[in-house]
Structure 1
Amino acid sequence: MEKKSLSERDICTKFITPALEKAGWNKLTQFLEEVSFTDGKIYVRGKMTARGERKRADYILYYKPNIPIAIIEAKDNKHSVRAGMQQALNYARILDIPCVFSSNGDGFLFHDRTATDAQIEEELGLHNFPTPQQLWEKYKKYKGITTPDAEKIAAQPYYADGSGRNPRYYQQIAVNRTVEAIANGQNRILLVMATGTGKTYTAFQIIHRLWKSGAKKRILFLADRNALIDQTRRGDFKHFRDKMTVVKHRQIDKSYEIYLALYQGLSGSDDAANVYKQFSPDFFDLIVIDECHRGSANEDSAWREILSYFKNATHVGLTATPKETEETSNSEYFGEPVYTYTLKQGIDDGFLAPYQVVRVALNVDAEGWRPEQGKTDKAGNLVEDRVYNRSDYDRKLAIDERTDTVAQKVTEFLKGYDRFAKTIIFCVDIDHAERMRSAMARHNADLVAENYKYVMQITGDNDEGKRELDNFIAPEERYPVVATTSELMTTGVDAQTCKVIVLDANINSMTKFKQIIGRGTRINEEYGKRYFTILDFRNATDLFADTAFDGDPIRIKPVSEEEDLSGIVEEDANNTEPIIDEVSGEEIDLTPQAPVIRYPTLPSSGDTLQEPRQKVYVNGVDVSVLVSRELYFDNQGKPITTSLKDHTKGIIQGKFASLDDFLNRWNSTERKDAIVAELLEQGVMVEALYEAVDKEVDLFDLICHVAYDQPPLSRKERANNVKKRNYFTKYGPQSRKVLEALLDKYADEGITNIESMDVLKVKPLTDFGSPVEIIKGFGTKSDYLKAIKELEQELYKLA
């Protein structure tokens, strides 16, 4: 058979695969074909979702199952041997692979990412593909692996439980880079991975490989919340079985190899409570610190003492939100991250759920509120005369009607969406969460009457609520549906089915904002969770526009302690992230404090000692919603600041320079849904535009109108224009009826439905016979498809 007539897959089967096998690559264990390494970005269209295309490599070659060392991009023989190189290089960069090949079946173009000279690219004959050992040597050079001991550690396989679960590509990179860094002698390592991307599973694979290889014999996993320890022990770490223990008692059994512990369980205010000192300083070889941006990030914190005590161990920090402030620096302690996988990358790859944002502006927030003369609070005291604003509400001043309006708006949204969508309402403090629970219960009295757990306050001080936390998290549990909280649910809550996040708290900390958004980013297809909605009452989502939201953390702590401290700006009081004691619900102070002696100030004659002003509670205030609008985001995840129409116009004109360019592409494309998919990939929000145009037009008219200012025709108008032209006279009676039915179908549902053969299996087309009988009326299948193509051309004839 002529080589140029073969498909790309045939080229792989007949030429590339045999060349690999001849070079010594085992097809069963050392290379995979057509490897999809992303899930495909999820696009939200109103309440509907669609998956974009997965990224797929034609071949990935492995030295060991956990070590990808080469990638091959194949093309058919109509292309040159070089044609696939740019795509292969892009995939190699994403996958952290050093050896890159392109082939069309005649030979290979080899790009060596370890080379720095003219040998960076060379052509190889079809029968001169490198052996596994040759490419392994390239990989070792790429990773700086220079000793037999380092090679043994780096080559240690992953844990496999027989379920077929393998690390995703970014988890594989995170594990490999960490293990390789440790094999090369690095002792402080930072991994930054967005919430919902499997940090605990990644930690398990790191620990397992180092433990199995003998590089690390005794390991401590540190966290600061019971929920994190419990999830870890019952989840991925369960495979350690009897080699693992949770440190719970003051007397420690030192016969185990894997220890899970809370900071609070190891340390205390005196030596008797400092349980960690029962271990010798060199007891642990490896310490993995979960959520390392929290307590241990501060060098003067009590918890940092634990890390300092075990300073000879290798320390691996895990976080979604590395902390870089004037006082605290993760990078100062751990160094720069060996790998970063961001929320944006996770959404683009389809591993994390995208979000919609609805911004709600209340009159008292936008305009402020000033009490009228003589206004008293609910206790009968005069309210201080000044203008109160968003930063005051629920922290200094609580307005009953404001709380009620927020609850009413959230309820309205759920009634139009799904009243049993798991929802977290983030409040200013515990008191606010308590009042919000009551307001939500009033507005959802019907469902609360069925089960009082429909809405629950889940805060640190509320035992009943805390007992329901696991039920809120569990996908299979219906109740609680709505959780009101302040701090307790910001981290360590694996809420896979949380579909709505309500922000009614002032959030000035980027770390806290990222953690809160992370509560919604998990996907659970089984329970219909593909995206989540953020209802923002405090303009907190302005932080999406901050370059710090999805960029690399920039160290801002002064390098030298001798530097002038006068220029340091003290953090805003709201820019802290308190650690909440799970029993008392109170904030834990992690910084050792010197005793402070306070001398009483005696009042002068006629003065009285002033008590700190308490929160003021008022009612009888007119509160209303000024505006509620959906906030749109571009393809890079940034808020769109221009109008949606202008933003879309720019994207479409960037792809099709003129109306003629678009018409040529539209008429030459076999299936119009391919153009829809392309525009989605570019970030065009088709459904939102349909709502903006407010007319039953199809995509063709939508694009022509938005991008090229053409007056739009509705689908019905286009269908009627075709009928007026007596276009059907060349067909027999039965075929004319089929085409007229397809036109009506187009008028109702759009062009992509009539392009599908499945349309012949639904009413009213089934009235004309089976699909085979309908097609036979046109002649052959090719004749039927030609008739559909001509019908489309008639539909889109421009006046």
Structure 2
Amino acid sequence: MAAKEAQARIKINKLLEEAGWRLLDGMGGKANVMLEANVKLDALGDNFEATSNGFVDFLLLDERGHPVVVLEAKSEDKNPLAGKEQARKYARGHCCDFVILSNGNLHYLWDLRQGNPELIVRFPSPASISEHRKFEPSPNRLTDEVVGIDYIVRTQYPDYESDASYRNLAERDAFILKHGLRFLRDYQKRAVHKLQDAVAEGQTRFLFEMATGTGKTLTAAAIVKLFLRTSNAHRVLFLVDRLELENQAKKDLDSYLKNTFTTVVYKERRDAWRGAQIVVTTVQSLLFNNKYRRLFSPTDFDLVISDEAHRSIGGNARAVFEYFVGYKLGLTATPRDYLKGFNPDRPSTRDPREHERRLLLDTYQTFGCASGQPTFRYSLLDGVREGHLISPVVVDARTDVTARLLADEGYAVVRQDADDLDGDDEDTFFHTDFEKTFFSDATNRVFCETFLQHALRDPVSGEIGKSIVFAVSQNHAAKLAQLLNELADLLFPGKYQSDFAVQVTSSVKDAQQFTIQFAENKLLGSANFIETYKTSKARVCVTVGMMTTGYDCPDLLNIALMRPVFSPSDFVQIKGRGTRKYNFLKTLHDDGLKPLVAAPEKTQFKFFDFFANCEYFEETFNYDEVLRLPARTGNGDGKGTVAMGDASTDQVTYSHLGGDAVSFLAQQQVGPDGMKIDRMFFERFEEAARADAALREQIENGQWDQAIEYVVNHLLDKPAEFFTLDKLRRAAGVDRRLTLKEILQKVFGLIPAFKSKDEMLEDAFQAFILTNQTRLADGDAQAIEAMKYFFKAYVTDASLRSIIDGKQFTELYVNPAFGMADFNAVPADWRNRIPEYVKDYVSLNPFM
């Protein structure tokens, strides 16, 4: 026992010294560690708990010699939490806000002002504790903070509302654009409110699952401001998983918050980061040589935000994330539910989704969402339905060669082995081998020709729209860039001098800068076709993986997968690069040309798929508009060469020397239900509900109250699937709030489909007209459309209801959704009649 106690003391002393605490007076200054009264450091023998009180407390002092931390030390064989209450009592007696509980191996840091003891791997430094004391966290201030759509704008431009240009509706849009003002969208505001609700319930970890293009960084900025403004954090760590995302994150956060808070990239401010409220860095940078443990204390950051969380906290990176105490927010664009149909117990262990599944499950567990329900979710389909994002036109193109590589039996190649006197050997290649052990220049050429032939054109200049091509490897990227430049020279003679396509991979100098210049429309020049139209001269970036996660280039019109993809999150990220909306007139600086652009708004993008990746993730490509597999081709021309590789691996390489051609080409706009990988699974609930005999009997007997109660008690929030009403609503893909009764009606075939919000509004308005048809005057018939517009707006817009009910009609002059002109178009008698009818007969719940 004595040995364990002595060993614990030695370890605790060392941990204190490593963190910068001084046990004895020395050149660094006076000792700032004091033992319990009447116990001297050099008097501590083997049995360091054998004191008059049965334990030893360390008091850690600030620069003025005042106690700031109580360190409760236990022997190695005791759980340090056993001394929790005694340490709390002792800390309060010394007016300390912090407690460290340690047995030399396991350590907890406890901020008595909030929360519970949190596990740490290193003791906090004196400077970190001193800094941490300066702010006084209060969850109540955080939850009570009012967050409106202008929460960020009030930091960017505090007096925006009083500016004459903003007050003038004709100038407002230009004013907002000029100053880069970012109003929160409704769903972004809801995300912040969800976090506030979670904090009110005592949660400290949160996960936002938001599709690419829905403004995760803007939402995160609102969260950062919320924590800093309410003093629930004195400094925030923003983790990204790629080097090229550091500057982008800083740029975005600066544009939102720089008037109040300072943001730095750690590698650029290694010696001055403490002067900032927001520090951006990559996980890899902190992991290098255990930098996070050597240079930071656990209390240096009170809020840690992990962008693309399932990547930035996977593997060893988890240590960085867990090192810091305080609140944790994860951001991800990758939905977990698309893996629900995946069976981890299937015999094959080669399924690439297994790793992805584990990462996602681990991520949800880490952020306190083990049930599979994130703190807030906003999917790609939500964004498409609400008009914030766009779906792709999938171009499924397969050549003779790739069709054979994709076939179950693969591409069989016969070779004669000089050592095999009995005959020929057969090697088989699959799509996974393309540009690794199976090479075909003809196939690469067909890829490029097909892409150029069918790519969307820039609506202003008519040139090939800005595009990203994803290759198998860096060598493959070099080949594709060369081919695209050769073909572009034929299509556009004299327009490009090998500037059409650029290889953007890690082996290329300044590749990271290329990605930025491409987004800013100045890669290798700009305005190549029209002098007054600023768009990148380079039209195609050929990469392997640099421009996937977090890359923001909204004017992309084409994305091409000239490689197979096996990671679901990679597929979602790559596809997500094109979902952002864009108006191409933004960079056309010639007012005379603007009226000549027929369709300046980006309403679609093309997603070229040369390896049936969509089908792979759909399993049977099972969304409403099915793209069928092409008919199998023949054996081809059989031309090629086979070479034996390294004898240690016995790897065969094959160079296909024959020609290749497109064997199948289909273009299909993704429907409103989206891709299966974007949808949540409604089918599981249908199966569970239909299989329940008791529920089925209640439905058949029309016992709806009993059936709804039964579902709530027996099917919802159960560990098997954790079905919830909110989740089922999202799964159904309807743009309004469904009732549980409607869901059951659909499940049991009592209604053919769910009605959309507008369909229900049309029905409600028709009922209103039928009810009031005797009141319709001759002139009212001409105002039906105006009445309908007012009816729908009043039902769906809470702010308009407040204006009308409060008779604050002057506010209609500045209401962007329903203005005074719209109100005046409604006949006077109906301006009161419509609100009265809605209040009495229309349930607002489905439209909220």
TM-score normalised to structure 1 length: 0.49
TM-score normalised to structure 2 length: 0.47
